[in-house]
Structure 1
Amino acid sequence: MPEGSLTTPRARLALLIDADNVRASFLPIIIREASALGTVTVKRVYGHFASSAMNAWQPLVHDYALTPVHIPPAATGKNATDMKLAIEAMDLLHRGQIEGFCIASSDSDFTTLASRIREDGVAVYGFGEQKATVAYVRSCDRFFYCDLLMQEEKKPEAQDTTSPKASDPAAGEVKADPTRLPVDDILAAIDDLSGDEGWSHLGEVGQILNKRRPDFDPRNHGFKKLSALMESLKPVEVRRKNTSGGSSMIEVRVKTR
């Protein structure tokens, strides 16, 4: 799980999947990330299960213990699946037994639903692709780009970005994408949390970045850990300290310009 999660491991989550808008191949990633955020107590997938388009989902329903919600042919059409998912989401919200919602879809129609759920103080986690609109992404507490995460998983082991050497752009092995990497936001987060000597706890920096940018994830930029991403940035200095309890703590600061 990325550093800086927003819920406790025991938070009860509802996973609601729009099968009309999510690739079945994304399901292992969705389940993995959702399970790291909390305990998924509700798992529902919505779609016209009599259609051949749902063939890829059929075995996954059993393998992952999903509850299929069938949208009959008479009800199919634009927004039919979305409406059913939204209605059931509000029903779960009003029961007061769910502490977080995982909405798997790139459809911007769920922007209003995510915003409404958060109004009640309940977390919303989106799972989709880069085609998701900015408004939808920012209506969630966190947003996971499944297509980017899948690309990261397919990288050869030789490109393991957990080590500082592999994540050093000077080595020519792994380079952050400057068009996507929010360097200014990263530096601002470090500055905002810095102490007298400019050092900030890496975990706290990760948390504030997730709050300001719901789609921020070091894996989206080719790094398995936030620490590796930080070590790749020339304006950032990283140090590791041993605490009194024997564990290691990572701190970062912006280098003096």
Structure 2
Amino acid sequence: MTLRARLLLAQAPLALALLLVGVVAVGTLSRLGRAGPRVLQDNYRSVLAAQEMMAQLERMDSGALFIIAGERQRGLAQQAAQRERVESRLRVQEGNVTEPAEDAATLRLRLAWRRYLERYEGFLAQPSQEGARAAYFGGLEPAFQTVMGAARAILDLNQDAMVRKSEALQRQSARVNTVMVTAVLVAFVVGVLASQSLTHRALRPVSVLSQAVRRLGEGDYAARAVVEGRDEICLLYTS
């Protein structure tokens, strides 16, 4: 092996160590990158569904108030437009249960929505404005508060989960940073030590010849250099 090849080989441990750290870093960062969207994917749909459901329920309640105020046609049109939207958002939530207590909360929301619709039908069936007012404050408005509370519970549950997952992701990122810095330092030290060892072995014939030449220069004509190998230095010595 030539001296040049041996010197290049001496740098291989450092290059290999840095390459290994780079591969690990890319893999770790890739996993962290995929973890971020999962936080949104798991909970954001439920958050959005709950927010939209609450807004639509408030419009239905406003429709009931229009009816009480004597604007029956306007109230009927407004509440009718929201029913299917609420049902659609509720079905989205039922298909996106991701947290441990979310299934029970979703069932409570479904039951509260069903009771609210029953109260609304009873409210709409009132023949007089006074009867509608009594039905609203006696049954519809409490049912509205119940279904709003159930939707808010879904919203709070998923928002809290997003905060927890975000904090966990930040802690994981901090741990990864610490591990990566430590790994880079260890890899650098190990690579440098290994490279120094191989470089020393590669240049040892030069050191041996240098010592022999120095002794010859001092008048020690019996000095000999024992050099083994087939690189340029060894060939120069044997020639």
- Please report the TM-score for the alignment, with normalisation by the length of structure 2: 0.21
Greater radius of gyration (CA): 2
- Please report the TM-score for the alignment, with normalisation by the length of structure 1: 0.20
Comparing both chains, which one has the higher relative contact order based on Cα–Cα distances under 8 Å and sequence gaps of 6 or more? 2
Q: Which has the higher strand share?
A: 1
